[in-house]
A and B are shown apart, each in its own frame.
Chain A
Amino acid sequence: DTGVSQDPRHKITKRGQNVTFRCDPISEHNRLYWYRQTLGQGPEFLTYFQNEAQLEKSRLLSDRFSAERPKGSFSTLEIQRTEQGDSAMYLCASSLDGSLTEAFFGQGTRLTVV
């Protein structure tokens, strides 16, 4: 399977714990995006990378969130000191270029903070 893969698919954590998600984009794609989606809403942009450089972060992204893309391949999204409001589906997407080409989404990581 050469699509975007995310791990884990589901994560249940206690409030205050740290969690880390991984995304493996399509190999030739240089752009990688993280989105968050809650029930009944469209994906909400969090951050994106051009190769290994993190070029933009949403103002909605609190300092508890950090993302990396070492070597421009896979990416990780870490949430520190999780809160119940962090419960959502975290989607990763990749594309060959920026907003002028289609984004391929992974199946997401569903986070539940209890």
Chain B
Amino acid sequence: GQQVMQIPQYQHVQEGEDFTTYCNSSTTLSNIQWYKQRPGGHPVFLIQLVKSGEVKKQKRLTFQFGEAKKNSSLHITATQTTDVGTYFCAGPLGSARQLTFGSGTQLTVLP
């Protein structure tokens, strides 16, 4: 079936190291969104990408949308302990009007 996949499932990094999570969809997406969920919290919207090949930056976070609009990545430069949490990508599959979420990448930052 149609789905959104993310790798890796877990990532432990030392504070100051970089981190990347990858998202792949089985179908072309009209847009992709990224959310962050802190431990014990709820998903919080980070960004939306719409255009093929789009790159957006938020301070140390860089988001990319693939040329085929089927994959995306989130890169964090010089991680900090405040970056701890699970990062989800989500997008509408096919003609769906609701978001399908990936299984997330849980980031642990060691001080």
A residues apposed to B, CB below 8 Å:
33, 35, 40-45, 48, 55-56, 91, 93, 98-108
Contacts and interface: CB of A to CB of B under 8 A. Distances in A.
Q: Is the interface of A mostly helix, strand, loop or mixed?
A: loop
B24 to A, nearest CB: 14
The 9 closest A-B pairs by CB, nearest first: A42-B101, A99-B92, A102-B45, A98-B97, A105-B42, A43-B101, A105-B43, A42-B103, A42-B104
14 contacts: A33-B99, A40-B103, A41-B103, A42-B6, A42-B101, A42-B104, A43-B43, A43-B88, A44-B101, A99-B91, A99-B97, A100-B31, A103-B99, A106-B42
B103 A107 contact: no
Task: Give the size category of B's interface with A.
Answer: 20 to 34
Interface in B1-57: 4, 6, 9, 30-31, 33, 41-45, 48, 50
Contact of A98 (B44, B98, B100): B98
B69 to A, nearest CB: 14
B85 interface: no
A105 B48 CA distance: 16
Contact of A99 (B31, B104, B106): B31
Given A33-B98, A42-B88, A103 B41 contact: no
Given A45-B99, A48-B97, A107-B41, A102 B104 contact: no
B107 interface: no
A106 B98 CA distance: 16
A102 B48 contact: yes
Contacts of B33: 102-103
A41 B104 contact: yes
Given A45-B100, A99-B99, A105 B44 contact: yes
Given A99-B30, A100-B30, A56 B98 contact: yes
Given A42-B101, A45-B101, A99-B91, 14 more contacts: A33-B99, A35-B101, A43-B43, A43-B88, A43-B101, A48-B97, A48-B98, A93-B43, A99-B30, A99-B97, A100-B31, A102-B33, A105-B43, A108-B42
